């Protein structure tokens, strides 16, 4: 009997012995293998992309395409940290893969990766499902972040973490009226952030109860802004911690 003559349950049992990268390779053999591999791969709900394992591949565009095609539709959480000298082509492929395939993503973490306005604009398509977003140390500016946050009404975001973006002054708060669901905001170590810029924004963010502005040079001058109108905001946030599958 040849392999393709086996019934689907038997093939699924055989395929269960293959690792992540072997399943990706097998998915390119034929449509039947693609279907079987996806049934295994889509059990992965939280995935972390390893920059070193990707960039070392000669055919990394094909590899990334297979990753997002196979995992994307059922992924709930994605995490990536690329480093500031990351290849821009690789960065764009990741952004495009997220935007095109991760239609049910609830948690997105991209850290230590310089994002430009075009890339952030592409990620705005995820607003429909995203509840927790971490763009720590991504070299964000007020203009690009403001456009990103105002691109849809209303946002589903419950948690927004943008720590260590030292170019942020607070201008992105201007006209940001789509934060009705926001409960936690991490602005730690955005040293130049003018907390006073949040004044009008706090009127719209009714559910916001946790703000971390550790390291803001303006905090002492403007700390009373969080107590106005009877609002009680605890300093510090509690970002959800998830277990991620990391392919070798």
Domain boundaries, the chain: 1-43, 45-246
Distance of alpha carbon 99 from alpha carbon 124, whole angstroms = 8
**pLDDT-derived band of residue 227, with 50, 70 and 90 as boundaries?**
confident
Distance of alpha carbon 53 from alpha carbon 60, whole angstroms = 9
> Per-residue pLDDT averaged across 36-53, rounded?
92
**pLDDT-derived band of residue 56, with 50, 70 and 90 as boundaries?**
confident
Check pLDDT > 70 for residue 203.
yes
Distance of alpha carbon 125 from alpha carbon 50, whole angstroms = 24
pLDDT of residue 232: 65
Check pLDDT > 90 for residue 73.
yes
Check pLDDT > 90 for residue 83.
no
Lowest mean pLDDT among 20-24, 135-139, 224-228: 224-228
Q: Mean pLDDT score of the chain, rounded to an integer?
A: 89
pTM reported for the whole predicted model: 0.91
Top-confidence residue, 3 or 83: 83
CATH pick for 45-246 out of 3.10.110.10, 3.80.10.10, 3.30.930.10, 3.40.190.100:
3.80.10.10
**pLDDT-derived band of residue 217, with 50, 70 and 90 as boundaries?**
confident
Check pLDDT > 70 for residue 221.
no
Please report where in the chains the tokens 């936690």 appear, as a residue. Answer: 184
């Amino acid at each position: 009997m040849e392999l393709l003559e086996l019934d689907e349950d038997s093939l699924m049992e055989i395929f269960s012995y293959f690792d992540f990268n072997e399943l990706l390779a097998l998915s390119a053999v034929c449509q039947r293998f693609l279907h079987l591999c996806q049934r295994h791969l889509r059990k992965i709900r939280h995935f972390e992309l390893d920059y070193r394992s990707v960039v070392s591949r000669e055919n990394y565009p094909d590899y990334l395409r297979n990753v997002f095609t196979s995992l994307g539709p059922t992924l709930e959480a994605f995490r990536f940290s690329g480093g500031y000298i990351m290849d821009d082509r690789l960065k764009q492929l990741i952004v495009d893969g997220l935007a095109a395939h991760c239609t049910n993503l609830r948690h997105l973490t991209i850290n230590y990766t310089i994002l430009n306005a075009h890339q952030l604009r592409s990620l705005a398509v995820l607003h429909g499902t995203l509840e927790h977003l971490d763009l720590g140390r991504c070299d964000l500016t007020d203009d690009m972040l403001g456009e990103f946050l105002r691109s849809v009404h209303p946002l589903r975001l419950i948690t927004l973490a943008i720590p260590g973006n030292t170019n942020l002054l607070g201008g992105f708060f201007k006209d940001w009226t789509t934060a009705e669901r926001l409960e936690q905001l991490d602005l730690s170590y955005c040293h130049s952030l003018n907390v006073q810029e949040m004044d009008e924004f706090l009127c719209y963010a009714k559910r916001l109860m946790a703000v971390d502005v550790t390291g803001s040079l303006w905090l002492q001058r403007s700390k009373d802004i969080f107590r106005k109108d009877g609002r009680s905001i605890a300093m510090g946030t509690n970002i959800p911690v998830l277990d991620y599958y990391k392919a070798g």
